[in-house]
């Protein structure tokens, strides 16, 4: 019997987070595979002054920023793709409540790779020459900034090159499609930067849409890009990324995406959202009730459902996964 690393979501946040920590999350671009359920729990437990590392902004960072829980953030992209600007993040930046340090969608994973390999810096041919190098929200008075992405000399060619600083977040909460109880995980869809993130972070928590028997991992070991040996704990949370998508499992909830972003555009709307969609459930089942069982069924029946077919025979029934989580938490 493998180790059982399944714990409840509240327990994971109690054990592994603290005010002022460097917290990394977000997964596959702004509207997919984001461990936002973890962010909701951070707010339920009133975590403050977080330093967010989000490859891209997601609805999670949008929400945390709107609620005032994040005071510093580093991102490659800060919109919501087809859903427009991220109103909560935008408001926090414009009001000066959140210092947003801009990078690009390649420089963030390069920095995570640097952290993962424990390199002193990562050479870069991107971000140089642009204001991503010269402007720093963390050092606003230094212009042109020479510390954020300094130029160094390539010892082989003698050419100038940018030096990116490595990232080593205190914690990464990572969304995965399937995990076993030991923390071996399979991601459907693009990995985005979850591989590097899982190696760069000091601690890793997985949020899995479904728990599978370990035989699944033994059948597809090549697809297990996050092995249990680097994982502290696993949280079973169906619809972890909702209202965002998880390929193979559920489609984006377009109505909620829009309504949520609209709400986060104002102080009042944010308070309503927190009351209705953050404070209003007590466990996984009441969370799914909140989404609506009909909506859950509809979103689960999307065009990419077939991607999950090869794995279905190993899925643990919902009640068993919940019971395992309770057992390890107790």
Partner 1 sequence: MSTDYTRQEMMAIATGREIRDGELAIFGVGLSMIAGYFAQANHAPNVRAMTEGGVYGATPIGGMPWGIECNRLAVNAVSFTNALDALGCLVASGRCDVGIIGAAQVDKFGNVNTTGIWDGEIGDTFRPPKTRLTGAGGANDIASGAKRFLIMVSHEAKRFVDKVSYISSPGYLDGGNARHDIGLIGGGPSAIITTLGVLRPHPRTREFQLDAYFAFSSVEEILASTGWDLKVAPDVRLVPEPTAQELATLRRIDEGGMLRRA
- Of residues 77-136, those binding partner 1 (CB under 8 A): 77-79, 81-83, 85-86, 89-90, 93-96, 100, 102-107, 109-110, 113, 124-132, 135-136
> How many chain residues interact with partner 1 (CB under 8 A)?
74
Q: How far is the CB of 89 from partner 1 (least distance, A)?
A: 8
Calpha distance 245→261 (Å, rounded)? 16
Residue from the set 48, 72, 161, 165 that interacts with partner 1 by CB under 8 A: 161
Q: Provide the CA 8 distance to its chain's centre, in angstroms.
A: 18
Q: How far is the CB of 304 from partner 1 (least distance, A)?
A: 5
SS3 230: helix
The count of residues in the chain is: 330
Nearer to partner 1, 124 or 181 (CB): 124
Calpha distance 228→169 (Å, rounded)? 19
Calpha distance 304→300 (Å, rounded)? 9
Residue with tokens 């900034």: 145
Q: Is residue 280 within the footprint of partner 1 (CB under 8 A)?
A: no
| Dihedrals phi, psi of 176, to nearest 5 degrees | -130, 160
Q: Provide the CA 109 distance to its chain's centre, in angstroms.
A: 13
| Interface map 7-46 toward partner 1 (x if CB under 8 A) | ---------------------xxxxxx-------------
Q: Is residue 296 within the footprint of partner 1 (CB under 8 A)?
A: no
Q: Which of residues 192-211 bind partner 1 (CB under 8 A)?
A: 192-196
**Residues whose CB is less than 8 angstroms from the CB of residue 123 and which lie 6 or more positions away in sequence, other chains included:** 152, 154, 161, 162, 163, 164
Nearer to partner 1, 162 or 324 (CB): 162
Of the listed pieces 9-17, 244-252, 265-273, 290-298, which binds partner 1 according to CB under 8 A?
244-252
Of the listed pieces 53-61, 176-184, 212-220, 289-297, which binds partner 1 according to CB under 8 A?
53-61
Calpha distance 113→119 (Å, rounded)? 8
Q: Is residue 76 within the footprint of partner 1 (CB under 8 A)?
A: yes
Q: How far is the CB of 180 from partner 1 (least distance, A)?
A: 21
Q: How far is the CB of 110 from partner 1 (least distance, A)?
A: 7
Calpha distance 95→168 (Å, rounded)? 28
Nearer to partner 1, 51 or 55 (CB): 55
| Interface map 138-157 toward partner 1 (x if CB under 8 A) | --xx-x-------x------
Greatest pairwise CA separation for the chain in angstroms: 62
Q: How far is the CB of 324 from partner 1 (least distance, A)?
A: 29
**Residues whose CB is less than 8 angstroms from the CB of residue 241 and which lie 6 or more positions away in sequence, other chains included:** 27, 32, 33, 34, 35, 36, 37, 175, 209, 250
Q: Which of residues 218-237 bind partner 1 (CB under 8 A)?
A: none
Q: Is residue 137 within the footprint of partner 1 (CB under 8 A)?
A: yes
Q: Is residue 166 within the footprint of partner 1 (CB under 8 A)?
A: no
Q: How far is the CB of 150 from partner 1 (least distance, A)?
A: 13
Residue from the set 6, 43, 252, 263 that interacts with partner 1 by CB under 8 A: 252
Q: What angle do CA 189, 29, 26 make, to 5 degrees?
A: 100
Cα of first residue to Cα of last residue in the chain, in angstroms, is: 18
Calpha distance 81→185 (Å, rounded)? 27
Nearer to partner 1, 20 or 82 (CB): 82
SS3 39: helix
């Amino acid at each position: 019997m493998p180790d059982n690393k399944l714990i409840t979501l509240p327990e994971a946040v109690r054990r592994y987070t603290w005010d002022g920590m460097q917290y990394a999350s977000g997964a596959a671009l702004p509207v997919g595979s984001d461990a936002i359920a973890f962010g909701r729990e951070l707010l339920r437990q009133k975590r403050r002054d977080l330093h967010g590392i989000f490859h891209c902004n997601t609805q999670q960072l949008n929400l945390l920023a709107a609620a005032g829980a994040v005071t510093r953030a580093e991102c490659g992209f800060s919109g919501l793709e087809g859903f427009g600007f991220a109103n909560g993040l935008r408001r926090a930046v414009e009001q000066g409540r959140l210092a947003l340090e801009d990078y690009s969608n390649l420089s963030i994973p390069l920095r995570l790779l640097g952290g993962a390999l424990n390199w002193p810096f990562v050479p870069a041919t991107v971000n140089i020459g642009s204001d991503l190098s010269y402007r720093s929200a963390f050092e606003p008075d230094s212009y042109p900034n020479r510390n954020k992405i300094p130029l160094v000399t390539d010892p082989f060619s003698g050419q100038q090159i940018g030096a990116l600083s490595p990232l080593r977040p205190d914690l990464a909460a990572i969304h995965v499609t399937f995990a076993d109880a030991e923390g071996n995980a399979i991601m459907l869809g693009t990995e985005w930067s979850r591989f590097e993130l899982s190696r760069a972070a000091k601690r890793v928590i997985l949020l899995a849409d479904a728990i599978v028997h370990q035989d699944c991992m033994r059948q597809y070991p090549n697809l297990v890009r996050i092995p249990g040996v680097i994982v502290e704990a696993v949280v079973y949370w169906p619809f972890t990324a909702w209202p965002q998508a998880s390929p193979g499992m559920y489609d984006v909830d377009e109505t909620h995406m829009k309504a949520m972003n609209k709400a986060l555009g104002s102080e009042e709307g944010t308070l309503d959202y927190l009351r209705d969609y953050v404070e209003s459930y007590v466990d996984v089942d009441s969370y799914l009730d909140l989404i609506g069982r009909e909506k859950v069924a509809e979103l689960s029946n999307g065009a990419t459902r077939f991607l999950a077919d090869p794995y279905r025979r190993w899925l643990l029934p919902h009640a068993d996964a919940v019971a395992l989580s309770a057992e390890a938490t107790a």
